């Protein structure tokens, strides 16, 4: 049987998530990269800018403003917010599917997007049909979708960490706390003082604790999971590493949760993610490390229950680690593509973590 590969385009191929998409899609068994765009590097060979691609990708960057993407089967947008939605109606009308790694299609309610990102939504009707690209929680909707809004990296860890607890109804949804840290690549490729080596190296600091954009995205999706409004305190931090993300999540057990043993809590997570190829529920009391996920699409979860003043505590702690550029961005987008096109979900995503 002749197999026709999926023709994939990437808009914005010079940023960290863009080149990560190129790296992973260039070895995907069912994909042919056909168009990769850049506003500034049109006409430049990809392997000239990224020598790591030598022998794997011989394409040149196309001009983002003039590139013809209509001959692609799927287009990934590794761009700033607002770019994908400007092209969505034109491309979907000719059968092209879209996976946006920015925020254009992350919110069911486009008015929340407009309030958070301070721009009008270009295609609110298409936004209503877009699927949220967290496969483990939204697989069926993604399989039917023409447009997928890839989740943010922080929201991926928070949703996968809190979801089993909220679905089981064993924690107080109004008092969720997420203490998270990301590597510098999460800020994108930009020249700002805060991200210079001398500023970020040997340093650890919080930022945007009073209004990070990922708080609204996460709270909206967690409310859907819980079936009720949630209260989420989210404190992001910048860690002195290139890639990697670690989230420490806290949820207060309610009366139903308090009577559960630690073994029962562990079983809750193991059952929730049984058979999921990219979720590793580690043994109770483990400590997932960012380096154990580096370069892979794996997300690792471990549970703890700190003691209270009278013995067994009323708080469950969920530790989550992932690679922010893979499971938090490019890998999750490819995972959604596999689901959209009926491919094995693990296709092109079986890379083991890099160690050391």
Give the CATH superfamily of 154-324: Dihydrodipicolinate Reductase; domain 2 (3.30.360.10)
Active site residue 123: no
Locate 36 and state its tokens. 């990769």
Neighbours of 312 (CB within 10 A): 12
Q: 123, 153, 180, 198: which is the annotated catalytic residue?
A: 153
Strands (E), 41-170: 62-63, 74-77, 97-100, 131-132, 147-149
Would you state the pLDDT for residue 317? 98
* The pLDDT value given to residue 1: 39
pLDDT band of 58, cuts 50, 70, 90 = confident
Q: Alpha-carbon distance 324 to 250, whole Å? A: 21
CA distances from 327 to 184, 197, 254 (A): 16, 25, 31
Average pLDDT over the chain, rounded to whole?
Answer: 95
Name the residue with tokens 């049987």.
Answer: 1
Across-strand partners of 206? 237
Give the pLDDT confidence of 263-287 residue by residue, as tens digits.
999 999 999 999 999 999 999 999 9
pTM reported for the whole predicted model: 0.96
146: pLDDT strictly greater than 90: yes
Mean pLDDT of 305-334: 94
pLDDT, position 119: 96
Domain 6-150+328-340 sits in CATH 3.40.50.300: no
Asked whether the beta carbons of 278 and 329 are under 8 A apart, the reply is no
* 152 in Cβ contact with 17 (< 8 Å): no
Give the percent of the chain with pLDDT over 70.
99
* 236 bridge partner residues: 180
pLDDT in tens, 210-239: 989 999 999 999 999 999 999 999 999 999
Average pLDDT over residues 296-311: 93
Residues 250-255 have a mean pLDDT of: 97
Other CB atoms within 10 A of residue 161 CB: 25
* % pLDDT > 90, the chain: 89
User: How is the chain split into domains, by residue range?
Assistant: 6-150+328-340, 154-324
User: What digits encode the pLDDT tens for the residues 180-197?
Assistant: 999 999 888 877 888 888
| DSSP, residue by residue, 255-305 | HHHHTS-HHHHHHHHHHHTTT-TTEEEPPTT----GGGTTTSS-EEEEEE-
């Amino acid at each position: 049987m002749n197999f026709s590969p999926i023709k994939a385009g990437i808009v914005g191929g010079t940023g960290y998530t863009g080149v990560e998409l190129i790296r992973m899609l260039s070895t995907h068994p069912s994909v042919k990269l056909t168009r990769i765009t850049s506003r500034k590097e049109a006409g430049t060979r990809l392997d000239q800018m990224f020598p790591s691609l030598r022998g794997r990708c011989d394409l040149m960057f196309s001009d983002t403003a003039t590139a013809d993407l209509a001959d692609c089967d799927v287009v990934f947008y590794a761009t700033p917010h607002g770019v994908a939605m400007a092209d969505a109606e034109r491309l979907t009308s000719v059968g092209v599917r879209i996976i946006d790694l920015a925020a254009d299609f992350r919110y069911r309610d486009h008015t929340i997007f407009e309030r958070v990102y301070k721009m009008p939504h270009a295609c609110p009707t298409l936004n209503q049909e877009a699927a949220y690209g967290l496969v483990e929680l939204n697989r069926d909707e993604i399989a039917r979708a023409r447009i997928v809004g890839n989740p943010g990296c922080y929201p991926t860890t928070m949703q996968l960490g809190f979801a089993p607890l909220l679905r089981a109804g064993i924690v107080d949804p109004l008092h969720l706390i997420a203490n998270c840290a990301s590597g510098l690549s999460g800020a994108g490729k930009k020249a700002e003082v805060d991200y210079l080596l001398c500023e970020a190296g040997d340093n650890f600091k919080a930022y945007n604790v009073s209004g990070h954009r990922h708080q609204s995205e996460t709270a909206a999706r967690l409310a859907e999971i819980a079936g009720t409004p949630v209260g989420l305190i989210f404190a992001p931090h910048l860690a002195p590493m290139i890639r990697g993300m670690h989230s420490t999540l806290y949820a207060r057990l309610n009366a139903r949760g308090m009577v559960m043993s630690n073994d029962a809590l562990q079983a809750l997570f193991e059952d929730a993610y049984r058979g999921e190829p990219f979720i590793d529920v580690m043994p109770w009391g483990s400590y997932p490390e960012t380096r154990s996920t580096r370069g892979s699409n794996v997300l690792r979860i471990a549970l703890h229950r700190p003691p209270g003043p009278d013995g067994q505590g009323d708080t469950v702690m969920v530790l989550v680690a992932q690679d922010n550029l893979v499971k938090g961005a490019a890998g999750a987008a490819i995972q959604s593509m596999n689901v959209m096109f009926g491919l094995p979900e693990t296709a092109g995503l079986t890379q083991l973590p890099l160690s050391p």
